[in-house]
Amino acid sequence: MSICRLSALRTLLIAALSCQLLSACSVSGTYPDATQADAAKLRFVANASNVTLDYFDAEHCFGQTTGVLNNFLMVDSGRRVGMSVAPPADARGYLEIKLKPGKEALLRVNSNAPSGLCGIGVNLTPQPGAEYELRFNSESGGCSMLLERIKRIDGKDLRFPMSMPEGNLQACTGSNPIFPKPLPETPQRRVLIERLVGNTLELATKLNASAQRVPQAARPSVQAQIAERRQALGITVLPEAYWTQYRDNLERYALDTQGTSAQLLAQFKDTYWRGFSMASDRQLEDWTQPTTRQARGDLQALQERLTRYYYRTRRNIELEQLDQHLLRMTQLDRQYNVCARFPGCWTY
């Protein structure tokens, strides 16, 4: 679950841009569904008032709308693309679109509910033929979003949570307020940014140490997992090549999870270097050495955002690791036709 709280100025800029988009769109919006035979499908579910989903890619940095949901002045979008999994029973309003597979996009949600303005985005590069569900909720002081890959297998609707990287598109940097451009670097700014990045890495290192002290559910050894799998399958005709690759997959996943902390620190450094490079000189100085009550409050707010970003990023990395592991296992079972003989095969 990703949670976002935006500054008033940034939110108003996004809302203004969204109003420009809305003024030019119909109930179904301006975004045309992808036409590829293997196009991915996305259902957007909004349990809040007056919500829009805008689509951005490298060719559409000002976005395309998909329709409006839960607006008392307009009929809800009737966009549907025939998805295999039914919408959640508690969905207040939803729409469905087709996405071009393999093309990175930014999906940005904007809400102008009575409780306040909110904007939040997520990057997605759809897989061919895949189906996704993006759920949005308005909360006190902010909003939250959940992205899942959905699938219907053996008559059951399955939902797999996905990572939700920060909404951004490098190709659109500087095109509008949603994609701000870094300020020119000076020797003074570089010193301030290096100091701030060092502070953020120090905080992330402490959070890493705390996370590692939390007891984790013991994962069975690779050998134990293979023995359990052999017993569950009860198939003696699978070649040893299958079990060799099965072991390799398990060991690769274990190695990936061991590198989570290092990967997180590297991502932390890159993200916040870019983030600080967009701040004004005055803001950098206040964060580095706060001398007023307002500056101290800003620094505390920054530290709180850093902490939230740490846990959100760690979860994203762990979900990406699991996603790749499930895909490798699914491809292995398909290669050896396991699903034709055993209903408990890997199907992701």
How confident is the model at residue 242, as a pLDDT?
A: 94
Q: Which residue has the higher pLDDT, 13 or 90?
A: 90
Q: Which residues contact 245 (CB under 8 A, 6 or more apart)?
A: 332
Domain spans in the chain, listed from the N-terminal domain onward: 2-172, 187-335
At residue 343 the predicted structure's pLDDT band, cuts being 50, 70 and 90, is confident
pLDDT at 45 over 90: yes
Strands across the sheet containing 116-124: 60-69, 51-57, 105-113, 116-124
pLDDT at 83 over 60: yes
111 and 47 Cβ atoms separated by less than 8 Å: no
Mean pLDDT of the region 68-97: 90
How confident is the model at residue 115, as a pLDDT?
A: 58
Taking the alpha carbons of 331, 324, 122, 5 in that order, is the dihedral positive or negative? positive
pLDDT at 20 over 90: no
How confident is the model at residue 296, as a pLDDT?
A: 92
Least confident of 14-18, 49-53, 230-234: 14-18
61 and 170 Cβ atoms separated by less than 8 Å: no
At residue 113 the predicted structure's pLDDT band, cuts being 50, 70 and 90, is low
List, for residues 255-281, the tens digit of each pLDDT value: 999 999 999 999 889 889 988 999 999
Q: Which residue has the higher pLDDT, 29 or 348?
A: 29
Q: What is the C-alpha to C-alpha distance for residues 159 and 10, in angstroms, rounded to an integer? A: 33
Q: What is the C-alpha to C-alpha distance for residues 182 and 278, in angstroms, rounded to an integer? A: 4
CA angle 340–238–345, rounded 5-degree value: 40
Q: What is the largest CA-CA distance in the chain?
A: 73
List, for residues 175-225, the tens digit of each pLDDT value: 988 888 899 999 999 999 999 999 999 998 988 888 776 566 667 889 999
Burial status of residue 116 (CB atoms within 10 A of its CB: 0-12, 13-18, 19 or more): middle
User: Considering only CA atoms, which of 85, 92, 118, 117 is closest in space to residue 2?
Assistant: 118
- What pTM does this model have? 0.76
How confident is the model at residue 5, as a pLDDT?
A: 39
| Cα distances (angstroms) measured from residue 110 to each of 48, 55, 124, 278, 327 | 10, 11, 17, 23, 32
pLDDT at 57 over 70: yes
In whole numbers, what is the pLDDT of the chain averaged over residues?
86
